[in-house]
Amino acid sequence: MSEEQKIRNRWIVVIGAIMIQLALGTIYSWGTLTVFLSPYLSEIKELTVFIFGIGLLSFAITMIFAGKLQQKYGPRNIAILGGVLMGGGVILSAFMTTFIGLLITYGIIFGAGIGFGYVCPIASASKWFPDKKGFINGIAVAGFGAGSFIFNYVIKSSTASTVFAKAVYDPITINPEIALRI
């Protein structure tokens, strides 16, 4: 592989890092999601703020271990683990109608997925750009913030919110008591 080919290929790593970080940034869309999720919970709506806090705590704690694990098992494997935990956490949270259920599935499992996924694109991109580590890490982390920005608008759009609520929660929680709270 020529030097020019290597230089071109390293930008693909940066694009991949941005794409992963866009998906991970959805954790900051929690405030927008709670508007649609709160009516389906059987507890006090105000408790949903703790789910976000636990998600961030899970994210932070998991990152400590994810850095070491990605060095041992490779960033691809740890990023896949993060994606599986994120996806599993979201899917399982669709079945939850209690605060504790959502705390475990979205707060802990989804948050851990973000922690595993967050470290890998940054580590990989900076290895490909030893001469521009700060710049490349800045680009990758900007994807994290952009993910929140984009998904907040997707969730807020009336079509997306209606489709989200109907597709995920209505088939599962057809409960007249819960329906009265909407």
Q: What is the pLDDT of residue 120?
A: 92
Q: What is the pLDDT of residue 161?
A: 52
Q: What is the pLDDT of residue 6?
A: 64
- Residue type present at position 146: A
What is the pTM assigned to this prediction? 0.80
Q: What is the pLDDT of residue 96?
A: 84
Distances (CA, A) of 4 to 15, 42, 132, 160: 18, 59, 17, 43
* Distance from the Cα of residue 10 to its chain's centroid: 25
Mean pLDDT by 10 residues, the chain (182 residues): 68 91 91 76 74 95 95 95 96 86 95 96 89 91 90 71 55 49 50
Looking up residue 19, the CATH number of its domain turns out to be 1.20.1250.20
Residue listed under structure tokens 């057809």:
174
Residues of the domain holding 49: 3-179
Interatomic CA distance for residues 96 and 9, integer angstroms: 43
Nearest CA to 24 out of 122, 136, 155, 145 is that of 145
How deeply is 1 buried, as exposed, middle or buried, from its count of CB atoms within 10 A (0-12, 13-18, 19+)? Answer: exposed
* Count of structural domains within the chain: 1
